[in-house]
Structure formats: structure tokens, C-alpha cells
Amino acid sequence: MTVLTAIPVGPRVPPELLEAAIRHALAQTHRDTIVLVAGDGERPAVSFTHDRLVVGTFPAHRGAPFTQQAMLLGSPFSHYAPHGADDWTEPDHVATLLGLRRPAAGSGVIWFHQGAASSVHRSPRTWIEFGVFETTALRSVGGYNAAEPCGQDSVLTSILLQTHGVALSRRPTYHKNFRVGSLTHDPATRQGSPIREAVKVRNRAVLTRCAELGWRSRGAIRAYREGLVPPALRRELEDRAADVARWLAAG
């Protein structure tokens, strides 16, 4: 089972955190793993090469959900593992989740690291966004909503819970770094911001509509969610997915 570990890189990600994220992704005990680092409008600051590391750059900043969707659609591999550009994982993260043998598996609890003293705490709720998923399962329900600026990992996994079920690992294998300047801390997109609250409202409407369509109607859910992306963005998304396929084919 080949796993694509997909790392979207937005503006202002500290190079040392990105390098740590990549090295942890490459150090997984499940060796059949390809790590794709995609710069969202800027060339990623990657100072080394590896035979399982692919680095590419998209020409314009479109946000993490757009970049994730392009990587998902362009991947030829059986499994997809989203990974933050400033986060890191335990060496058996991928192996543990693959061992749960479900279309969608997540690290049910994760570690959070916050502040200059790097205080560490376990998440107070279940997290499954940073899991390992069958690529076909993600695609079958439309993947990430590329039209939204943020908040599409949680809504996608909410849909997966209903349509496929999600297996959970209760041992934390994923470490999330909360830092100033990240999407969740930026005043424009952090929790409680007008943008984030508007996305939450739209996400609730999406989940309501998916429930109306019926959770077993994956094709209808996919068509509905793909229709949320305007035609111009869909064309750009197709172009980016083709770029991803070329990058991965070239190695």
C-alpha cells in the first residue's frame, strides 16, 4: 500500500519546522511512503533531497484546502495522509493507522505543542483530520472543498464518519504545533474570526444537505460538493492536479 504524505506549504512557514515535518514523514516505519511538499504560491524552503521526497510549487496562493484537493486528485497512490507543514509524527504513525484496516483511520487523540516553552497537552476531543485514508474513499465524497479558505479537514472527516466509518487509534501519533502566524492563530482565520465563523455556517449547511441526500448516496454527495467549487476554480484545480501527477511521475 503506497501512502502519499501530502504537505501543503503556505506563506511564512518557518523552514526549520517544515524540515522537521518532512524528516519525520520520511522516517516512517511504513517504508512505502512518498512525501509530497507543495508550495502554495511560494517555493518551499527545502534544503535536502531524498528518493521518496517530491517538491513542487504552485504559481498562486489559493489556501490549504485548494492545495490538498489538488494533491488528492493528482495522486496515483492507494492511500492519502494529510500532514501539516509545521507538525510532526511518531515513526509508526502511518503503520499504526494502516493496521486499523478501514477506509479511513485517524489518530483519535493528538499532542498539542504551544508557546515558547513548548507546553504539551493531549487534545480534549477526538481528532481524525490527520489520518491515513483510502484515496478512493476521499474522492468518493468530493474530497476537500477547494472554494473555502479553511476548515475543510474537519467537515470532510465528519462526512467520512457517516459514509465510510472511521477507525480510531487512541494512542497519539500526531503532534500539532500551535504557533503565531499559523492559519489557526492568524487574526484573519483563527477561531472566532469572521471568516472562520462564516465557514462554520456554510459547513453546517453542507452537512445538512449531505444528510438530506442520504449518507449512502456517495455519488450524489460527491456531485453536490464538487458543484460548490466555481467553474473557474475547478479548471485551475484540474491544472494543479495535472501538475501533481507530473511531479509524482517524474519522482
Provide the CATH number for the domain around residue 69: 3.90.550.10
- pLDDT for 186 equals 65
Domains identified in the chain, total number: 1
pLDDT tens digits, residue range 28-80? 999 999 999 999 999 999 999 999 999 999 999 999 999 999 999 999 999 99
Grid cell listed for 120: 504539551
Q: pLDDT confidence of 11, banded at 50, 70, 90?
A: confident
Q: Residues near 1 by Cβ (< 8 Å), separated by ≥ 6?
A: 32, 78, 79, 98
Distance between CA atoms of residues 142 and 37, nearest Å: 22
Give dist(CA 87, CA 206) in Å, integer: 28
DSSP state of 179: -
To the nearest 10 degrees (0 to 180), the angle between helices 194-213 and 152-163 is 20
| 3-state SS class at 79 | strand
Per-residue three-class SS string for 24-48? HHHCCCCCCEEEEEEEECCCCCCCC
Q: Provide the grid cell at 100.
A: 486499523
Quote the pLDDT of residue 187. Answer: 62
Residue 50 sits in which domain range? 3-250
Number of neighbours of residue 1 by Cβ within 10 angstroms? 12
Tell me the whole-structure pTM to 2 decimals: 0.94
Q: How confident is the model over 108-134, as pLDDT tens digits?
A: 888 888 765 567 888 877 888 999 999
Is the Cβ–Cβ distance between 112 and 48 less than 8 Å? no
The continuous run of DSSP H or E covering 168 comes out as strand 167-169
Local structure of residue 166 (DSSP, 8 states): -
